[in-house]
């Protein structure tokens, strides 16, 4: 299904011919012509769509990616001449329907505390902001050098060359709470291996949870993931940290980590099948 922008123009996936226009509209560190071309591959977890403009160029672009069972709506840029309209919402609706057709569990997006625009867009998409409030920290791989041990039973699973999941623990093992439980899925039943989801996002290895039971386990986690990050040419881990944990934040900063935004965020979600998260039937 296409979402109609006006009587003549429809949202559509971008193609390689659109690359110069995308780079004009979306200024992202590390996004090059080659990198964007790779993200357009059919087996890529990334989803790029655009809204053509009246002059033959593009008036808006939206980048998302598949993270676990969800399609995450990530980055939107609208040309100055098209701002103030419904371009961002039109592309988001298109991506939502695309995720439904692909058989995804649902859609998700980061919503910042106090950000009225993103909260309004989340509300129109029926995204529920009932997850924990977190800060996202970029943790350098150099933290691995301080590890005095290794994490046991870490297994890397791949859905695509640049995305997949990580499993920790074995059946029958203890079920201690993680610092941040998986933001994209319910907790695993007791006695089963637990997973978080990963995706390569530009120079970052993004995890959907922080699978350490205490802060001292972080260097060992980074050491366990360093080979995967190095293989993909990534330089940092993107980790979700509880916003209320000030002592943990201070210890992260002492390790050279950097907080991505001044305000805390939550990963708002909507599942297509009716669940306790959804207060009303799927539209």
Mean predicted confidence (pLDDT) in 183-206: 77
pLDDT of residue 172: 45
Of the candidates 1, 238, 209, 201, the one whose C-alpha atom is nearest the C-alpha of residue 101 is 1
Does the structure show a pLDDT above 80 at 208?
Answer: yes
Does the structure show a pLDDT above 90 at 214?
Answer: no
Neighbours of 160 (CB within 10 A): 15
pLDDT of residue 276: 47
* pLDDT digit string, tens, across residues 220-250: 888 889 899 999 999 999 999 999 988 889 9
245-254: long-range pairs with CB below 8 Å, 24+ = 245/179, 248/179, 248/215, 249/135, 249/137, 251/215, 252/137, 252/139
Q: Tell me the pTM.
A: 0.85
Mean predicted confidence (pLDDT) in 70-90: 85
Does the structure show a pLDDT above 60 at 8?
Answer: no
Q: When comparing pLDDT for 209 and 281, which is higher?
A: 209
Residue 197 pLDDT grade (very low, low, confident, very high; cuts 50, 70, 90): very high
* Residues forming beta bridges with residue 168, ordered by sequence position: 154, 194
Mean predicted confidence (pLDDT) in 129-138: 92
């Amino acid at each position: 299904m296409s979402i109609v922008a006006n009587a003549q123009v429809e949202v559509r996936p971008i193609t390689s011919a659109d690359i110069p226009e995308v780079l004009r509209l979306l200024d992202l560190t590390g996004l090059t012509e080659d990198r964007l071309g790779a993200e357009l591959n059919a087996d890529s977890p990334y989803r790029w769509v655009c809204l053509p403009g009246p002059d033959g160029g593009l008036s808006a672009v939206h980048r998302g990616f598949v993270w676990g069972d969800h399609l995450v709506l990530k980055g939107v840029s609208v040309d100055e001449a098209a701002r103030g309209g419904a371009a961002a919402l039109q592309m988001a609706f298109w991506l939502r329907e695309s995720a439904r057709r692909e058989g995804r569990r649902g859609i998700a997006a980061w919503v910042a505390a106090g950000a009225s625009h993103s909260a309004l867009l989340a509300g129109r998409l029926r995204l529920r902001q009932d997850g924990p409030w977190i800060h996202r920290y970029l943790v350098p791989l150099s933290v691995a050098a301080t590890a005095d041990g290794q994490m046991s039973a870490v297994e890397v699973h791949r859905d695509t060359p640049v995305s997949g999941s990580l499993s920790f623990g074995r059946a029958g093992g203890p079920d201690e709470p993680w610092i941040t439980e998986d933001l994209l899925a319910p907790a695993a039943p007791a006695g089963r291996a637990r997973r978080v989801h990963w995706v390569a996002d530009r120079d970052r290895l993004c995890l959907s949870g922080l699978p350490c039971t205490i802060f001292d386990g972080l260097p060992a986690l980074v050491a366990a993931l360093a080979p995967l990050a190095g293989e993909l040419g990534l330089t940092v881990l993107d980790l979700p940290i509880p916003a209320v944990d000030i002592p943990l934040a201070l210890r992260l900063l002492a390790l050279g980590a950097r907080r991505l935004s001044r305000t805390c965020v939550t990963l708002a979600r909507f599942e297509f099948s009716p669940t306790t998260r959804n207060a009303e039937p799927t539209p």
